[in-house]
Amino acid sequence: MKRLRLLTLAALVAALAACGGDAPPIDVGPDPRLPEPQRGLVPGMNIADPVKWGDQRPVVPTGYRIDAIATDLKIPRQTLLLPNGDILVAEGKGGNAPALKPKDILAGFAISQGTSSVKGGDRLTLLRDADNDGRYEGRWVFADNLNAPYGLALIGNRLFVANQDAVVRFDYQPGQTRASGPPVKLTDLPSEINHHWTKAMTASADGRYLYVGIGSNSNITERGMTAEADRALIWQIDAETGMHKTYASGLRNPTALAIQPGSGQLWAVVNERDELGPNLVPDYLTSVREGAFYGWPYSYWGQHVDPRVRPQKPEKVAAAIKPDYSLGSHVAPLGLDFSTPAMGARFAEGAFVGEHGSWNRETPVGYRVVFVPFRGGRPAGEAVDFITGFMGEDGKTRGRPVGVTVDPRGALIVADDLSSTIWRVTPAR
C-alpha cells in the first residue's frame, strides 16, 4: 500500500510538472540573460532515480584520474584537509521545517527520492594515507554525537565545527585520530525551523574570524518575515569569544564559503529561490562585501523585483548588489574551493564548485563539479566541466557532489552524499 501511494504521488508530480516544458538553461557568467518569470500550479520537477555506481565512476578530463578513497560513509557533506594530509569528513543530515502547502509535500517527495536513504552519521570521520600512495587505508571516527555537522575550519590547534544549531570547538594536534574530549560551544546559531539547515563555514586568512552561512527559512518568505530573523546572511564570528555580527545579508542560502588565496577575500556560492520557472533564478558564485545586501527576498540578480514578496521594499531593491558570476538556475552549488597550480595548467587559477543538481526543473542541470577560471583575482571566462557522470546518459543518478576541497599537493577531494563516497581526482603522472 505504501508503495502504491508513492507511485501515485510520483505520477501526480509528473503530470502537474508536465504542464510546461523547459526552455534552454540560462547563461553562466557575469551577465546572464534573464527570462521573464513563469508561475504555475506546482513547480516543474524531475525526480532523480538513484542507483549504485557498480563498475562505473565519475568522468574526469583526459590526463586526470578519479578514485574512491572512502565508501560506506553516513552522508558526507564537507571535507577539511588537515596539516599532515589527513582528511576530515563531516557526515550528517539536518532540517526540521514542516510543509506549509500541498505543493510543499509534492516538492518534498520529489527531492527526497533523489537523496540517500542512509541515516546521517552526526559525526566526523578522519581518513589517512600514511604512505602517500593515494589510498587512504586509515579511517577513524574522530567525533560523534554531533548535530548535523557541515562547516569545518581549523585555526592553529583549534578545530571548529558548524553544527546545524551551534559552532563548537575541539582541541586538535596533528596526527590525532580521536577528539581528546567533548566539544566546547563557541556560539549558538539560528536553528528554529531550519528550512535550510546547512551551516557553511570558513576561517579568515589571519585566523581571527569565522564566517558562517545561515540560509533562509523559506523559499520566498512563506513563513513570514519573523521566521527570517537572522537568516539569509553570513555571520562574522570572533573565533576567541564567539561574539558575532552580520557580515552580509540578502543571500538566500549560502551553502559554501572560501577565502581566496593572496587577497584574503571571502567568496560564497548561493542557492537562489525557486518557482519562477526553469531558468530563474541563477544560483551564483560571488565575492562577499562587508555590509552588502544581495537582494533576497525582495529582488534577485540585482534589481529584478520578486513580485511575490509582501510588503515590497523599493529601498532594499535599490541597495541590492549584483553577484559576480551566474552558475545557472537550479544547479544547487554546495561546494567551493580555490585551485592551485599543482592541479595542472588548465585548472591552475580559479575555483572548483560542486553542483548537487536540480529538482525544480524537468530537464536536469547540475550533478557535476565545474571549474570557474579566474584572471587577476576575478572570474574570467565560461565555467568548464571538471567531473561529470553523476547523472548518467541513462537518466540514473549515481552520485551528487557536495563539498570540494583542494589539496595543494595536487588533488581535488569531493564528497558525494548520495553514494556516501569521497572521491579524489589527481593529474595523471
CA distance 246 to 265: 16
The predicted pLDDT at position 1 comes to: 41
In a domain? residue 229: yes
In a domain? residue 26: no
In a domain? residue 294: yes
The predicted pLDDT at position 49 comes to: 82
The predicted pLDDT at position 385 comes to: 98
Q: Provide the CATH number for the domain around residue 251.
A: 2.120.10.30
DSSP one-letter code for 98: P
The predicted pLDDT at position 344 comes to: 97
In a domain? residue 353: yes
CA distance 148 to 166: 10
- Cβ(352)–Cβ(386) below 8 Å: yes
The predicted pLDDT at position 111 comes to: 63
In a domain? residue 376: yes
In a domain? residue 16: no
In a domain? residue 302: yes
In a domain? residue 326: yes
- Cβ(254)–Cβ(213) below 8 Å: yes
CA distance 198 to 215: 7
Q: What is the pLDDT of residues 100-112, one digit of tens each?
A: 666 565 566 566 6
Show Cβ contacts of residue 11 under 8 Å, excluding neighbours closer than 6 positions.
Answer: none
Beta strands in 157-290 (DSSP E): 158-162, 166-171, 184-188, 201-203, 209-214, 233-238, 244-249, 254-259, 266-270, 282-287
Beta strands in 215-261 (DSSP E): 233-238, 244-249, 254-259
Number of domains the chain contains: 1
The predicted pLDDT at position 146 comes to: 98
Q: Centre a 10 Å sphere on the Cβ of residue 76 and count the other Cβ atoms it contains.
A: 25
Low-confidence ranges of the chain (pLDDT < 70): 1-26, 40-45, 47, 99-114, 116
Q: Among residues 288, 202, 189, which one has the least CA distance to residue 231? A: 189
Query: Which residue range(s) make up the domain with 176?
Result: 40-427
